[in-house]
Amino acid sequence: CPLPAATGSDEEDDSDSSTKPIRSEKKKNPVSLFQTGGDPPKEKKTKKKAPPKAAESEEETPETPQKNSNKKGKGKKSKKPKEERPPSPIIEVDNLEEFVLRPAPQGVTVKCRVTRDKKGMDRGLYPTYYLHLDNDKKVFLLAGRKRKKSKTSNYLISIDPTDLSRGGENFIGKLRSNLMGTKFTVFDNGANPDRANADWSNVRQELSAVVYETNVLGFKGPRRMTVIIPGMNADNERVPIRPRNDNDGLLMRWQNKNMDNVIELHNKAPVWNDETQSYVLNFHGRVTHASVKNFQIVHGSDPDYIVMQFGRVADDAFTMDYNYPLCAVQAFAIALSSFDGKLACE
């Protein structure tokens, strides 16, 4: 594509920005942006973990410099020496399956790294994507890969890096696109509505939907994304959205403007920078390479609260950071949708 996409080095005005918490103080508590009420879930399978309010400053503690293998001297943009990428705060992953579906703790940015593995027979066409916490321990969270014999793009998401089978017990969710490859739906590992039990409690939930709009240049230039997620109830738990058929899913609700218990988010529009002749966003040092895939997701009422950001740091490595109310599966699936072939213009 002729147009460089948004990059992380917004002239690295990080001198003081990295000490500010991600959220803006003037606005009301971001948590309230995502509350929709919702029916209290009838089946209480897991004990509710109301995440402890983390101290605001935990997000930006002074970093101990970390070994950072991705600085290959390619960052043409940095005029000053680049500081190390701030690592993830301490995140306890006690039970992986629970953790990846649980919303991020309020006030904590969960910082992750996505790596793309193209090695092997058909990995060029069907790479495997791995999600790890971006810290010293590099805790594995999720793996995803496109299924081969699927009419539309269909990615399996697993909590085991070696088992990406549909039938395995490690299957935790999936991402499915429409035929055009412009709209995606994210499901958990529940049953298809055809196999519902009497009270529908086993039926899969829709965790998110992503819509990519073509702009006047086709897909060239900044992409426009709409992300639709279930709202949160008073206990800060996700309102379960279990569509009984395709007309009841998040995409149809959004198209029909039936937004009960549904939240609409958008990617933050990058700003044109005359000096670099490209569109830029400020990723506060977490993104180092220009890419059409770099994005930040925000709520229209508080564009300073970054719900999720994703961007390239090396040829096959990306950072993915998410905040309340997203969980790892939602954020990873949204990131996977941005890799999909029909959108790529790199």
- Is residue 152 classed exposed, middle or buried when 0-12, 13-18 and 19+ CB atoms within 10 A define those classes? middle
At 272 the pLDDT is: 83
Q: Where are the domains of the chain?
A: 87-339
CB proximity list for 32: less than 8 A, separation 6 or greater: none
**Average pLDDT, whole number, for the chain?**
77
List, for residues 76-109, the tens digit of each pLDDT value: 333 444 456 666 667 778 899 999 999 999 999 9
3-state secondary structure labels for all residues of the chain:
CCCCCCCCCCCCCHHHHCCCCCCCCCCCCHHHHHECCCCCCCCCCCCCCCCCCCCHHHHHCCCCCCCCCCCCCCCCCCCCCCCCCCCCCCCCCCCHHHHHHCCCCCCCCEEEEEEEECCCCCCCCCCEEEEEECCCCCCEEEEEEECCCCCCCEEEEECCCCCCCCCCCCEEEEEEECCCCCEEEEEECCECHHHCCCCCCCECCEEEEEEEECECCECCCCCEEEEEEECECCCCCECCCCCCCHHHCHHHHHHCCCCCCEEEEEECCCEEECCCCEEECCCCCCCCECCCCCEEEEECCEEEEEEEEEEEEECCEEEEEECCCCCHHHHHHHHHHHHCCCCCCC
Q: Most confidently modeled of 17-31, 161-175, 213-227, 228-242? A: 228-242
Q: Kindly state the DSSP code that residue 35 receives in the 8-state scheme.
A: B
With vertex at residue 211, the alpha carbon angle to CA 206 and CA 215, rounded to the nearest 5 degrees, is 180
What would the mean pLDDT of 261-266 be, rounded to a whole number?
95
At 140 the pLDDT is: 95
pLDDT at 287 over 80: yes
- The two structure tokens encoding residue 163: 């088992």
With vertex at residue 85, the alpha carbon angle to CA 81 and CA 90, rounded to the nearest 5 degrees, is 150
At 65 the pLDDT is: 36
On the question of a cis peptide bond just before residue 325, with omega within 30 degrees of 0, the verdict is yes
What would the mean pLDDT of 194-217 be, rounded to a whole number?
86
List, for residues 173-183, the tens digit of each pLDDT value: 999 999 888 99
Please provide the CATH number assigned to the domain covering 87-339: 3.20.90.10
d(CA 117, CA 50): 36
pLDDT at 257 over 70: yes
- Residue 260: helix, strand or coil by DSSP? coil
Per-residue CA distances from 239 to 156, 230, 260, 262 (Å)? 23, 6, 10, 9
Q: Kindly state the DSSP code that residue 246 receives in the 8-state scheme.
A: G
Q: Kindly state the DSSP code that residue 152 receives in the 8-state scheme.
A: S
CB atoms within 10 A of CB 156: 22
List, for residues 127-179, the tens digit of each pLDDT value: 899 999 998 888 999 999 988 878 888 999 999 988 887 777 899 999 999 98
